[in-house]
Structure 1
């Protein structure tokens, strides 16, 4: 279930193109179980994930002098927040292929912001929020904390190349012991508009992906990567 939050920044155009780059095993898991995996926020490579900038931390630290539970809440909260990351871009990204896929194998799901929102409708257990990540200087800039999702919608400027949109869930009220993440129900046909296969993949790999999609009962449009185009001289 997707829930809008007026405080969270998001592109206005529902046709905004978004991408998810992933390996074949994660792609098969998505199609086979028709569930979207969301990673626990404190398991991301960036150790600052879900934390505060220095100016904000100083303010929270002062507030927690008389209420130590205030700071402890933010530390434990990260374990209950799960995230699915998507990349905003009108075109394929060479950098995203390099970072999120191995060697010459992997896929990219192309979707739109509107499709993402609609694809979350089948999920009844967890509320989903979608927001665009803000990239700031953590030494100088302030992160507001009146909204519990804000710490997960800010990252350091070093990550600006990610141009990230996030699906976020706070599972605190469900009293779960989340390991690496959890899976949520999605409408796969709505979620995926097109599939792009790694530009450096061999023909056997491309055929494998095409056959897998077919055998699992889907008929997605599978595109040749634009980065694989022939050179014109």
Structure 2
């Protein structure tokens, strides 16, 4: 269930969003009709969910009156789960390179409005926020909302144009390992499906066959990043 958090910045509902993935993850989404959300402290970026230097200096002052704050925050990180999306009006060559391998993979195209509608999990509320890219040595990260530290990244990741679906699974009282799966309306979420620009024709036919047999009817296209050169 999508929950509007007025502190988090969200682009307009008609903004295009993309999720690049391999075929196995895509099949898991279709078969389970559940979206995987990663535990926030399991991302490769070691700065994920941490504080910038100016923010940490501010927090150190608070520790005098609340010495358990940092330990409580570290525990909280284990219960914040995230699904990452890419905002762009067009396909991204960089995203194909980062998230797919061996000239195979898929990209889901949706909109922020459709993402909101597709979040039907009732156990925990889901929030959506746009990632801010900052200098961690100079700029401040607000911490008056539990999700703010997970919506800031270093400027070197700016090419990701990331939008995040976030949730706090603390109410579920579960041991979160790598992440959790939440119920989604796949028919609503996927507006269009793009197939890797360098994939073979058999791969496209396979994807179409699988999608059809599973009863989904969204539009499928081969990426046009490798279309014929006109000269």
TM over 0.5, yes or no? yes
Q: Secondary structure of the equivalent of 2:78?
A: helix
Q: Distance in 2 between matches of 1:146 and 1:2?
A: 21
Q: Distance in 1 between matches of 2:117 and 2:101?
A: 30
Structure 2, unaligned runs of 5 or more: none
| Cα deviation 1:121-178 (Å, max 9, x = unaligned) | x211111000000000000000010001000000000100000000000112222110
Structure 2 counterpart of 1:55: 54
Aligned residues: 231
Q: Distance in 1 between matches of 2:88 and 2:66?
A: 43
2:136 to 135, 138, 153: 138
Structure 1 counterpart of 2:8: 8
2:165 to 164, 167, 177: 167
**Shift of residue 215, structure 1, vs aligned partner:** 1.0
Q: Distance in 2 between matches of 1:223 and 1:132?
A: 27
Structure 2 counterpart of 1:111: 110
RMSD: 0.8
Q: Secondary structure of the equivalent of 1:146?
A: coil
Contact 2:84 2:164 in 1 (8 A): yes
**Shift of residue 183, structure 1, vs aligned partner:** 0.4
What is the 5 A alignment of 1:60-209?
Answer: 60-120=59-119, 122-209=120-207
Q: Distance in 2 between matches of 1:207 and 1:5?
A: 41
Q: Secondary structure of the equivalent of 2:125?
A: coil
Runs of 4+ in 1 over 4 A off after TM superposition: none
Q: Distance in 2 between matches of 1:7 and 1:186?
A: 24
**Shift of residue 109, structure 1, vs aligned partner:** 0.1
Contact 1:61 1:71 in 2 (8 A): no
Q: Distance in 1 between matches of 2:34 and 2:171?
A: 21
